[in-house]
Structure 1
Amino acid sequence: MNSTQLANRLGEVILNGRWIANTNIKDQIENLDYTIANKQVKSLNTIAILTQHIHYYVSGIKNVFISGNLEIRDKFSFDFPPITSQKQWKSFQNLFWKDTEELIQHISDLSDSELKNPFVDKKYGNYQRNIDGLIEHAYYHLGQIVLIKKMIESSYIT
């Protein structure tokens, strides 16, 4: 797989795709009220937390392209202040879309040989492996978001 294909796959899961899941993250949350995004379903993460979690990794990997440093840590990947208004929710989404678009551009700019370069440190594998992992991780959480939305919607009907 080349860098353009990887960049397109990241765009598909987050911004505009329908091929794998017949939806994407943007479709699922763009018109969602922040109160629904924050609704707790049993012990599951909220939609707001899941989307911030995905963004955490998008932003962290984008930062590697900019600075060469991996500053994110898994242990902090669910630690976010609450989203308390629709304005704040939309602002977060706009940042998420912007960071995703910028990361897509960075990925597109990689040569095939650069995809094979170590990602910060050999222990993390290469760029291709990390970008693939980000895409798979986003699809995993997209599935959770879809299911949580269905659970919330069904609770309003009954």
Structure 2
Amino acid sequence: MKSSIQLANRFREVILNGKWIANTNVQDQLRNVTLEQAVTEIDNLNTIAKLTFHLNYYISGVLNVFEGGNLEIRDKFSFDLPKMNSEQEWSDLTTNLFSNAEKFANHVEHMSEEKLNAEFVNTDYGDFRRNIEGMIEHSYYHLGQIVLLRKMLDQ
């Protein structure tokens, strides 16, 4: 199997449909989460909504590069979730995350080995492969946080 397809499948696994590593994925964990649950603050932890925004922020930012744009995201803005006032806004955020994740995976799936090994934006960021693998690891990290927050909210 081409490494681009393997990377795309690993990315889909953590966000959209996998069970292998964590026996769950982001989409499963966010299914049936209400707005009230998503924005509930526990101590000084990020909320489920903030983590969802954060994941989407990075996925959409790198996706923009995949689509020929510039890397416009900045760490300092990655948790700047606007106030959410309705279930529809929460639903729109999750829908946008899953749509961007599938677009991201589709781009990865079609990358050549040459593209995977090409410089990503500039030398400071390494190559495309490193950034895709980083996105997978980053997503698992936040998936774990979402799982723990859900358990805390269910107590």
Do the two structures share a fold, i.e. TM-score over 0.5?
A: yes
User: Percent identity between the aligned chains?
Assistant: 51
Deviates more, 1:13-22 or 1:78-87: 78-87
Aligned partner letter, 1:140: Y
Structure 1 segments (4+ residues) deviating >3 Å? none
How do residues 64-143 of structure 1 correspond to structure 2 at under 5 angstroms?
A: 64-143=65-144
Q: Answer yes or no: is 1:144 the counterpart of 2:145.
A: yes
- Give 5+ residue unaligned stretches, structure 1: none
Q: Deviations over 1:87-106 (max 9, x none)?
A: 11111111111111111111
How far apart are the structure 2 equivalents of 1:123 and 1:112? 20
How far apart are the structure 2 equivalents of 1:51 and 1:68? 23
Aligned partner letter, 1:50: L
How many pairs were matched up?
A: 154
Structure 1 contact 50–145 (Cα < 8 Å) conserved: yes
- Give 5+ residue unaligned stretches, structure 2: none
How far apart are the structure 1 equivalents of 2:75 and 2:68? 19
Structure 1 contact 54–138 (Cα < 8 Å) conserved: yes
TM-score (norm 2): 0.96
Post-superposition shift, 1:107? 0.5
Q: Answer yes or no: is 1:10 the counterpart of 2:4.
A: no
CA RMSD of aligned residues (A): 1.0
Q: Answer yes or no: is 1:22 the counterpart of 2:23.
A: yes
Q: Deviations over 1:64-119 (max 9, x none)?
A: 01124111011111112022211111111111111111111111110112100000
Aligned partner letter, 1:136: E
How do residues 53-64 of structure 1 correspond to structure 2 at under 5 angstroms?
A: 53-64=54-65
Give the match's secondary structure for 1:67.
Answer: coil
Could you say which residue in structure 2 is the equivalent of 1:35?
36
Aligned partner letter, 2:107: H
How far apart are the structure 2 equivalents of 1:21 and 1:82? 30
How far apart are the structure 2 equivalents of 1:63 and 1:145? 25
Give the match's secondary structure for 2:67.
Answer: helix
Post-superposition shift, 1:126? 0.3
